[in-house]
A and B are shown apart, each in its own frame.
Chain A
Amino acid sequence: MNLAVRDVRHNLARFSLTTVGIGMLLMIVMGMGGIYRGLIEDAVLLVNRIDADLWIVQHGTRGPFAEISRIPRSLEDRLLVVPGVQSARAFVSHTVQREHGGKPLRMVVNGLSWPQDDGSWLPLVAGRPLEAAHYEMIADKLLGLQLGETLELGKDVYRVVGLTQGMIGQGGDGLAFFTVPDALAIQFDSSAEAIRLERFARKARAVKDDIGKMQPMLMDKAELPSRELPAVPRAMISAVVVKAAPGRDPLEIAELISGWKDVSVHTSDEQKELLLKGTVDRARRQIGLFTALLVLISAIIMALIIYTLTLDKTRDIAMLKLMGARDSVILSLILQQAVLLGGLGYVLAYYFGQWIFPHFPRRVIIMHEDLLRLGMIVIAISVLSSLLGIWKAMKIQPNEVLS
């Protein structure tokens, strides 16, 4: 006769409410693991999607995701002539926050090397890739933009021509894709007043400098737009992504490029490693500690619940002992209830999570191995939490029936 099930059936409402509580607690534990997985997935998503073999960044930096990297766009052409390089594409990435529809809109602006790269590799759920050199964008659905909607960024207006789903940056912001010139225009947009002031400042510097005195003609050019001045460098890009030709070893190409003194080379795996170690590692440890604390709290709460359930049955356990029931009968009653509580709580946690996690602002990814690990932890804490109740039950004397 299964006493645990009969007791649960008799106290169904209380047991159900307790299980729901445990389930919600375990859902949070499950969610924390899922948030961690989401962080990792989001961090390496772009690197994975771009599918490059090598990332060429500013010398001595770990850009473009871990830190700022600035390299000239001409590097794209230099790399294209390196033996074994199939393609080299400029890459720009930076985060902007603007007002749109009265709400803050935060997005990661990515530049695609159009027309070689029109974004057709993106997981489009609506619309099309980029078809024009300017004023088109592909946005992730997370940004809340609709297909055909226009968005003013800097001095220009961009039309959403394609929508992706699940393209999220390491900070949890949705990704938006433009051509490289548009992405740079958004990044280096200055107000007219700022441009005017810069021109005056440039002229003032030239006046003070020897070169201004020796070559007065330069004074006339000092106030021209910067794009018309060869001495003023062009806007810099973040990186160049390189794809090796079929059959060529990317490491050989990397070795060759690493001899260049103005750039650093990272393979895709190194880039992911940098991302995970640099930006995600602290979050990982924070989440790990928080999850461990939650597991501990769950175990304590479960232990208290099982202890209380045992206290409620003091007289019944005393009667069982008086009738000569073996310790195993009583132990099994408590242990089965603890495992039932933990097991049902775990199942509820899973279903609650399936329902709630999609509404979280950041991705929560629940993987099978995480579910399995949590399942084993739940069994372990169920058994551990029952120890307090078992200890209490073992101390109950049969003569307590008489009290």
Chain B
Amino acid sequence: MTAASPAIEATGLTKVYGSGNTEVTAMRDVTLTIGKGEVVALLGPSGAGKSTLLTAIGLINPPTSGSIVIGGLPVMEGPEALVDVRGFRRRHIGYVFQKANLIPFLTALENVQLASEINDVPPREARSRALELLDYLGVGDRVKNLPHMLSGGQQQRVAVARALANSPSIVLADEPTAALDSVRGRQVMELFGKVAHEQGAGVLVVTHDHRALDVFDEILEMEDGTLRPPVRTTTHTEGSK
């Protein structure tokens, strides 16, 4: 990882599902760069290929062709992984989804703490970091609650805390506010902005929610598997906002 490199550099990403008559191109020649400390929204109708792009960058669903460089380190070349994918995800990528996907038998604190412990952080340190994050995200008073005892918004904030537990280089969020009301939705979006600017992470958020777009540094749009020119670009220097 090099300090000067962008957080994400994706070049010529294409994803093809099936073959022959059933072949579907979900993403076609997508190239994008997200800088460190930058928070980017990805808009587009259903089936536009947003989630395909997100999962490709997140090393969950490899592209058919194209390359991905994260923090200056080449990680994918076509469908071939150039790094230990699971280890890389553990250390450098944070995920937030539409559903919080918290582990139901762990408390809010344990869900966040687990992410650090998986990354070989000593339990005491992991716990302290988790408490700090949960407090920062406004759920410090619910640390002992199991997920089913939390509201949707609280669960999502715990999921954000979990995604940030290992201070990732990039945070990928797939419609994180879909299950939230407008106030909570905006709070979560603002959180991403805060995380990007304060921690220097590159954040890519797939969203349908147009109510909080002012939070983003850049807004991209996808349609029919291709990335259209930026709808809006604002320039930020790392951590300056």
Contact = CB atoms under 8 A, between A and B. Distances in A.
Interface residues of B, number: 28
Contacts of A11: 105
Centre residue among B97, B104, B117 by max chain A CB count within 10 A: B104
Interface in A302-330: 315-316, 319-326, 329
Interface in A1-41: 1, 3, 6-7, 9-11
Nearest to B103: A316
B91 A10 contact: no
16 contacts: A1-B110, A1-B123, A6-B105, A6-B110, A7-B105, A9-B105, A10-B104, A315-B101, A320-B118, A323-B89, A323-B90, A325-B118, A329-B118, A398-B60, A399-B55, A402-B55
B61 interface: yes
B210 interface: no
B207 interface: no
Contact of A326 (B95, B97, B114, B118): B118
A402 B51 contact: yes
Interface of A: 1, 3, 6-7, 9-11, 315-316, 319-326, 329, 398-399, 401-402
Given A1-B110, A402-B60, 14 more contacts: A1-B114, A6-B106, A9-B105, A10-B105, A320-B118, A323-B89, A323-B115, A323-B118, A323-B162, A324-B89, A324-B90, A324-B119, A326-B86, A399-B55
A401 to B, nearest CB: 5
Given A10-B105, A319-B103, A329-B118, A324 B87 contact: yes
Contacts of B162: 323
A316 B104 contact: yes
Interface string B85-126: 011111100010100010111100010011101110001000
B146 interface: yes
Given A322-B89, A323-B89, A324-B90, A402 B105 contact: no
Nearest to B118: A325
A6 B107 CA distance: 10
A399 B15 CA distance: 15
